[in-house]
Amino acid sequence: MKAIITHQNKTYEIDLSKPIDISIPLTATDQNPIAWYIDKPVIEPVRFGDWVGKVSEGSSSTNFNNIFFNPHGHGTHTECLGHITRDFYSINQCLKQFVFTAELLSVKPEIHGEDCVITKNQLEKALHDKTPQAIVIRTLPNEKEKLSRKYSNTNPPYLEEAAAVFIREKGIQHLLIDLPSVDKEHDEGRLLAHKAFWNVTDVARLNDDARMHCTITEMIFVEDAIQDGSYILNIQIASFENDASPSKPVLYSIVN
């Protein structure tokens, strides 16, 4: 099944039967990736006395689980500027369109002292003159361990502030990355890349030109077999009234 997408008077044809899922599944196992010093997710049946919401245990005709997780720390998630503001803003209210032109870039973070940093210069070279609505950043090396990595207190790579400003000034609305954060793990709460991307200058009072409709998606995983280049991106979220939602970003190769 094919679909036609139009953006800025340009038409793109995609094959809906060939989705490229770049999300990480959420599981209640030790294989689940974890960031921000929390425990693994919990998925367990509801219990009322002797009754257990699990068909295999014989007392229920349905499987009826509770799920406890943190969208920021347990896997692929999409967040809005409400992640860093004093006032409440919901991803469910900020993200109203779900299909975008996208560019997949592979970048090897540069070593800056004890840090590994994605720089403005690297993104400029990788993007050339392209101006997609979204960019998907795959960091190198691209180990399979990203699917289960325990990121807490490991100082993962991050995006320098100038790189986030560059993304904003290019008019890119959606940033996807295979790291737990676009910012340095221990940065004393500065959150320079988050603020630069959303153009938030004061978390207590939102400026008029803050980018309400723009999103950051973290902890994705892009297989090595997927080539850098242009795609159509579908960002799928759950309708949580929260600053972030677990998400399922899906890429589609452009046929024409």
Identify whether 141 is preceded by a cis peptide bond (ω within 30 of 0). yes
Residue 67 confidence (pLDDT)? 98
* DSSP class of 182: S
- Residue 16 in domain: yes
Residue 256 confidence (pLDDT)? 78
- Residue 54 in domain: no
What total number of domains does the chain contain? 1
CATH number at residue 79: 3.50.30.50
Strands 215-218, 134-139: pairing kind: unpaired
Regions of the chain where pLDDT drops below 70: none
CA 210, CA 168: separation in Å to the nearest integer? 11
- Residue 105 in domain: yes
- Residue 197 in domain: yes
Cα-based angle 1, 75, 204 (whole degrees, multiple of 5): 110
- Residue 58 in domain: no
Residue 1 confidence (pLDDT)? 84
CB contact at 8 A, 103 and 136: yes
Residues of the domain holding 245: 2-26+71-253
